[in-house]
Structure 1
Amino acid sequence: MLMSEKAFGPKELLIIILGLLVIGVTTSLGFWQLGRAHEKEALNLQMDQREKAHPLQIGQAEVRLSRDVWRRAEARGVFAEQWTIYLQNRQQNEQVGFWVLTPLKLAGSDTYLMVLRGWVPRNFQAMDLIKPYKTPQGLTVIDGLIAPPPSEWFSFFAEPPGQVIRQNVNLQKYADFHHIKLLPFVLRQSGDLHDGLGRQWPAAKTGVGTNYGYAAQWFGMSATGVVLLLYFVFQRLRKTKSKRGAEGPTAPHVL
């Protein structure tokens, strides 16, 4: 007597379980990316509202970076031009150059605010030759957005705290070196002031489209897994049915 083959043995059941696991994981990752996209949309809306809100007066109003980041603000004071630093390898319009940062001594205070003033191109023949630009003298008003300190890039060498052209800047170490009180954020200056500095800053908004793209990829993988799993199950059922048909009816037992 021929033994009829089972459609789903241990091997087939293991494949089905693994397939369901892959489908579950990819679907979960797709929904996680959708959640991240919705969070970023809410954050972008919040950033738009902050940018359009009435400007904060730095030195008069309390500023908390976690609450006020990317909010428009104004500061009155005098630039400490002698303490200007240049962060190298910063790009604008696909050109390499420097970010220019100068501390501003706030009016009526001994506190300083680091102003990210703009960008200047690099001179590839002489890196330490900075293209001329203008610095306001005396009491001036700076308009811009409250921003986090510039991100620190990886470097093989530790930079002296007083170095002018540098890769990174740590605001606290900078303040300690110059013996000043420095606020823990920067003001990213806005506007075309015809001072020789470029201010075409990258958009501060988060990339919502990237998350939607990743979500589509994960859901696509999940859908592909469903199709392949259904095809596998269908093929096993059809193959088993064909074999059973080829075997013919089972002969009755004769006592």
Structure 2
Amino acid sequence: MTARHLLMLLAALLAAALTARLGVWQLDRARQKLALQADIEAEAAKPALTNAQLGGYALHRRVVLRGTWDARHTVWLDNRPMDGRAGFYVVTPLRLSGRDDAILVQRGWAPRNVAERTQLPPLNTSSGEVEVLGRLAASTSRVYQLGEGAGGTIRQNLDTVSFGAETGLRLLPLAVIQTAGPDDGLLRHWPAPDLGLQTHYGYAFQWFALCALILSLYVWFQHLRPRLRRQQP
């Protein structure tokens, strides 16, 4: 074997090993996401937490909370489609009964006025004590935005810490995604959490396919093609 052939072999083996390793890494990431999904399902299967049990924050845990809405601090998160329609996610702080703190509740979805974006639909918010069923999340829904974002009633995202400082509310460092509660006319067809499993599987397939392509090209150009040329009359 000449030095050139040896160099080509080493380059092909190195490239194939690298792409195969990247494929294995993507499969490992998928396995980690599957383990995370199992943890989420295990938390969701546990008994729901009440007001008095919110000392330990277990994400994805079901909750049954009682409190009163702080309606004057309701925020409408823009650019949140649901069922193929443009609209808002409605977020209102819930002042927890028997406690001196509050928690942000992503209550549901409301449609946008296509003719006038800033005209908000009517919102039925009870003034008395309510019972809210939902699950704990790290924060309310977030989408990509440029810069810090503006304040006001309509916003792109809502940061719990800065919103607490803005309103003077003592907010818990998490949020509730409401699944049931008072009849307020809001939709709650929340999308299932996307852990990106199909993305990892897709990348793994691409890396393994590239690995196979590299080996195939090496065998073709370094062995099969020269042999076929020698056999030609």
TM-score (norm 2): 0.89
Query: 1:155 corresponds to which residue?
Result: 146
| Deviating more after overlay: 220-229 vs 35-44 | 220-229
Query: 1:45 corresponds to which residue?
Result: 38
* Separation of aligned partners in 1, 2:112 and 2:121: 8
CA 1:69/1:164 → structure 2, altered by over 3 Å: closer, same or farther? same
Query: 2:111 corresponds to which residue?
Result: 121
Measure how far apart 1:214 and its partner are: 1.9
Gaps of 5+ in 2: none
CA 1:176/1:196 → structure 2, altered by over 3 Å: closer, same or farther? same
Question: Deviations 1:54-111 (Å, cap 9, x if unpaired)?
Answer: 11124434232xxx21111121111011110111111112221111000000101110
Mapped contact 2:131–2:182 kept (Cα < 8 A):
no
Mapped contact 2:27–2:201 kept (Cα < 8 A):
yes
* Separation of aligned partners in 2, 1:176 and 1:152: 22
Mapped contact 1:59–1:106 kept (Cα < 8 A):
no
RMSD: 2.3
* Separation of aligned partners in 1, 2:99 and 2:49: 17
* Separation of aligned partners in 1, 2:80 and 2:98: 33
Mapped contact 2:40–2:60 kept (Cα < 8 A):
yes
* Separation of aligned partners in 2, 1:59 and 1:229: 66
* Separation of aligned partners in 2, 1:158 and 1:191: 30
| Deviating more after overlay: 181-190 vs 42-51 | 42-51
**Paired amino acid for 2:82:** Q
* Separation of aligned partners in 1, 2:212 and 2:181: 50
* Separation of aligned partners in 2, 1:228 and 1:114: 57
* 1:228 has 2:217 as partner: yes
* 1:93 has 2:83 as partner: yes
Q: What's the secondary structure of 2:12's corresponding residue?
A: helix
**Paired amino acid for 1:151:** R
* 1:62 has 2:55 as partner: yes
Mapped contact 2:70–2:94 kept (Cα < 8 A):
yes
1:133 pairs with one of 111, 116, 123: 123
Task: Report which of the two structures shows the higher radius of gyration computed on alpha carbons.
Answer: 1
Gaps of 5+ in 1: 1-7, 247-255
Q: What's the secondary structure of 1:40's corresponding residue?
A: helix
**Paired amino acid for 1:154:** Q
| Deviating more after overlay: 93-102 vs 224-233 | 224-233
Measure how far apart 1:232 and its partner are: 2.8
* Separation of aligned partners in 2, 1:72 and 1:158: 31
1:80 pairs with one of 62, 70, 74: 70
Measure how far apart 1:11 and its partner are: 3.2
Question: Deviations 1:112-151 (Å, cap 9, x if unpaired)?
Answer: 1100001111102122221123212311111101012132
Question: Deviations 1:26-49 (Å, cap 9, x if unpaired)?
Answer: 100110011111111111111111
TM-score (norm 1): 0.82
Q: What's the secondary structure of 1:189's corresponding residue?
A: strand
- How many residues are aligned here? 231
